[in-house]
Amino acid sequence: MSNEYRQLPSGAAVVQNLPWRWGVQGKIFLIGGLGFMFDAWDVTLNGALIPLVSEEWGLERSTAALLSTANLIGMAVGAFAWGTIADRVGRKKAFAWTLLLFSLFTVAGAFAPSFELFVLFRFLAGVGLGGCIPVDYALVGEFTPAKARGRVLTAMDGWWPIGAALAFFVTALIQLSTDNWRLILLVMVLPALLVFWVRQGVPESPMYLIRQGQSRRAAEVIDELVARTGAEATPYTLPDPQDAPRLSAGSVGEQLAKVWRYDWKVTTGAWSLFFSVLLVYYLALTWMPSLLADAGMSQVRSFFSTAGMAAVGLAGVAVSALLVERVGRKWLLGVSGPASALILVITSLMLGNPEVAVIWLLIFGFVVQIAIPVLYAYVSELYPTDLRGSGFGWASTFSRVGAGIGPLVFAVVWPVIGLANAFLMAGALVVAAVAWMARFAPETRGKVLH
């Protein structure tokens, strides 16, 4: 092999050094973001459904919270399963089918005759939707130029406050005209099916194809990307099909072993950050409508207030996207994560005055959405390509399990130690995770994915 050939860039490097074009990588960003939006919509909907199904079936609030637990545990299963499936069968197939499974069981939940069946269908819908985040991030990240990847992956989280706000806004609007909470689920399914159809046109990740040894298909995708972005066509190399490692997930035990064997300190940091930061946010999404209603607000107004908390997060995402490449992932996450937890504690202390509490809730919604986009971008960059889907998926799985069990534990703990102290305990977990990250996890700003 000549020295000239050895110096040619790899196909993966060509993709990651293409110019950004909204008609090419931007289209994939938009389509992937819509799936992310439905993930947020569905998770947030749990907080709206808890008081509504409690009234219909005469449930205690802690019992009704089982629907949130089932849904989030389902998402935990889905985050692992679909991340692993994406590593095995490709980003594109997993990218499309996650939403179809979610849509089918959401419709089933809308017609559930009992709370028990409703909880089951929420679990199964979660299994489908749980794959959106790891699959979407893997696909979008591998198409995005390296110099823009931090901003793009951070901007992906802009879809979250849109979905979360829509969940509460739609719920509030429907509640103004009818008490039929089942209609809330059906409204969400229609655009989800449309996005499933649109996703059929997304190309397979060339990085995945390269590591599958499918050189011809990978070259076709890369050449098309070069042509569509207007970049100069240059020679590049692809691995020999017999030497290219395959993205085979293997058994649960084998995959876990690979993730931890890669770097146990990195994996500990990824899992603890996902668990703690998202626990704080999910606690707010799940319980704030009920807490505001208990403080004297009408149910509809509490939905609108929590929708405001979610919507203002768009500004937080914008700030996050502007700062992530300037100050780095670790610094931005290390400041915004603990700050959001502290603000939630202050919000709980202000519930005696709901108007003031809502102001603090809006501040919380802004700050937490500086932290979460950085978290997703950061963890997606900590693992190599052959572990990116599964590594991210396992971290997301761990957070979903915590978020699923957290609201139940929270409902039991807060009457004993007080609401502010319960939020403070969650905040302490964030501080511990950030301290671990600062000591053991690397900075990934500008890192070329391999």
Task: Report whether 16 contacts 448 (CB < 8 A).
Answer: yes
* Pairwise CA distance, residues 294 & 306, whole Å: 14
Taking Cα atoms as reference points, which of 124, 106, 67, 102 lies closest to residue 185? Answer: 106
Which phi and psi (to 5°) does residue 60 adopt?
-70, 150
* Pairwise CA distance, residues 106 & 98, whole Å: 13
CATH architecture for the domain at 9-440: Up-down Bundle (1.20)
* Pairwise CA distance, residues 200 & 55, whole Å: 40
pLDDT score at 450: 63
What is the gyration radius of the CA atoms in the chain, in angstroms?
22
pLDDT under 70: residue ranges of the chain: 1-6, 80, 83, 91, 95, 134, 207, 239-253, 389, 448-450
* Pairwise CA distance, residues 44 & 258, whole Å: 33
Break the chain into its structural domains and give their ranges. Answer: 9-440
Extract the tokens encoding 29. Answer: 């960003």
Which phi and psi (to 5°) does residue 203 adopt?
-70, 160
What is the distance of C-alpha 24 from the center of its chain?
23
> Rounded to 5, what percent of the chain is helix, strand, coil?
80, 0, 20
| Residue written as token pair 């500990």 | 268
3-state SS assignment for residue 237 = strand
Q: For the beta carbon of residue 448, count every other beta carbon within 10 angstroms.
A: 12
Which phi and psi (to 5°) does residue 335 adopt?
-90, -50
* Pairwise CA distance, residues 348 & 291, whole Å: 9
* Pairwise CA distance, residues 197 & 199, whole Å: 5
| 237 bridge partner residues | 10
pLDDT score at 309: 96
Handedness of CA 211, 215, 217, 218 (dihedral sign): positive
> In one letter, which amino acid is 110?
A
CA angle 327, 333, 334 (to 5 degrees): 95
> In one letter, which amino acid is 333?
L
What is the distance of C-alpha 448 from the center of its chain?
22
